[in-house]
Amino acid sequence: MMPDWLRLLLTRRMLICVLTGFSSGMPLYLLLNLLPAWLRSESVDLKTIGLFALIQFPYTWKFVWAPLLDRYRPPLGRRRGWMLLSQIGLLASIGLLGGLSPADNLTAIVWLSVALAFLSATQDIALDAFRREILSDQELGLGNSVHVNAYRVAGLVPGSLSLILADLLPWAQVFWITAAFMLPGMIMALLVAEPAVFGAPKTLRQAVVEPFHEFISRRGWSGALLVLGFIFLYKLGDSLATALSTPFYLDLGYSKTDIGVIAKHAGLWPAVFGGLLGGLWMVRLGINRALWLFGVVQWVTILGFSWLAWRGVQTSIDGLDRAALAGVIAAEYLGVGLGTAAFTAFIARATNPAFTATQFALFTSLAAVPRTFINAGAGALVEAVGWFSFFIICFVLAAPGMALLLRVAPWNETPPSPQP
């Protein structure tokens, strides 16, 4: 007889969550991992690379145009149509990026990267809404964990495969190969059914105003502000800690191949394991308790990076150095996998199915603020205080988000989901 946990995982909806996660993670990890590595290998300074985090501003402002995706229906449907259009644009943008030179075309790279981030954020709006609308409340925890895991697996392409290929092929070919990994999501958008949702907005004004009005009415002003504050702060510490991870590893003396083979895999698989384990645990624990338990693990493991920085630059990388890197990253990303699974489920639970795209975009936009604007100063902060002190600051910044759990997700409370 099939175990319950396996039966829960082997469903068509969970397979769809795999594909939504992979499509969503690909372009973001390209901006987070491949782009900084490319720029650093072409001798762009750390401060400039840090400022490149600002190109991700569409992730923080996507709620501005999210109502358009709730209101207007392209030919394939309200969700599938926007998914496919954004994915076609992403494939082209990623491929074209590699044809530019950081030495001669830095301004063009900035603008094309902004366009890529805009298309990626638009795809996220459609994918998040689609996923929320096909999952029942009971499937939210596991479904979002599967999505987050696939999201991280997608990071293997720009964060590992592409880096290894960069030692063998010209950058132009590397970027086109990377772009081709958008094809599975495009095929999914063509094959899946459009979800049926009752109460969808019929006018643009309703699509813009009602999502905010409904959220504030349901929570009250103080409750709404507490939830928004929690969403902003919960991932602040670990987001900042990993903002310049690839340049950090390079500065410690590790090669691009070391990073591609060791660092990325050591981060990926514990995060995948943590996400799946977290999703299954959430079925029993509930989202509130998961936020507490997984958040503590996510918080404490940031200190591993401080220890790695304390060891300093290694003139000759040996097996012990590689094991140290793998161990620290594995612990950190186990915590990240657990924390992100619970956090994403919390965001999904807070949305009303009638206004999924706009509310989900608002919450995830707020969660992206640290990654975009605060992380933009990470390079300057590292140059001012050094890597060790930088990671201690990241640890301290993670504390307020944990404290807010007392108000937004009490240990013994299970708030009802909103009804359309």
Number of other residues whose CB lies within 10 A of the CB of residue 124: 28
Query: In this model, does residue 371 exceed pLDDT 70?
Result: no
Match 């096909």 to its residue by tokens: 134
| Domain spans of the chain, in order of start | 4-408
The pTM of the full predicted model, rounded to 2 decimals, is 0.73
Q: What are the tens digits of pLDDT across the range 215-274?
A: 888 878 888 889 888 888 888 888 888 877 878 888 888 777 887 777 667 777 787 777
Number of other residues whose CB lies within 10 A of the CB of residue 208: 18
Q: What are the tens digits of pLDDT across the range 46-103?
A: 777 777 777 877 877 888 888 888 888 888 888 889 999 999 999 999 999 888 888 7
Query: In this model, does residue 199 exceed pLDDT 70?
Result: no
The answer to whether 371 and 59 have CB atoms below 8 angstroms apart is: yes
Nearest to residue 125, comparing CAs of 153, 83, 85? 83
Query: In this model, does residue 174 exceed pLDDT 70?
Result: yes
- HEC-encoded secondary structure of 162-215: HHHHHCCCCHHHHHHHHHHHHHHHHHHHHHCCCCCCCCCCCCHHHHHHHHHHHH
Q: Match domain 4-408 to its CATH number in 1.20.1250.20, 3.80.10.10, 3.40.50.2000, 1.10.510.10.
A: 1.20.1250.20
d(CA 391, CA 389): 5
Region 323-351: what's the mean pLDDT? 83
d(CA 75, CA 78): 8
Task: Identify residue 127 by its one-letter amino acid code.
Answer: L
All residues at 6 or more sequence positions from 77 whose CB lies less than 8 Å from its CB, including other chains = 194
Q: What are the tens digits of pLDDT across the range 306-319?
A: 888 888 777 777 77
Distances in Å between the Cα of 323 and the Cα atoms of 250, 316, 379 are 16, 14, 26
The answer to whether 59 and 365 have CB atoms below 8 angstroms apart is: yes
Query: In this model, does residue 416 exceed pLDDT 60?
Result: no
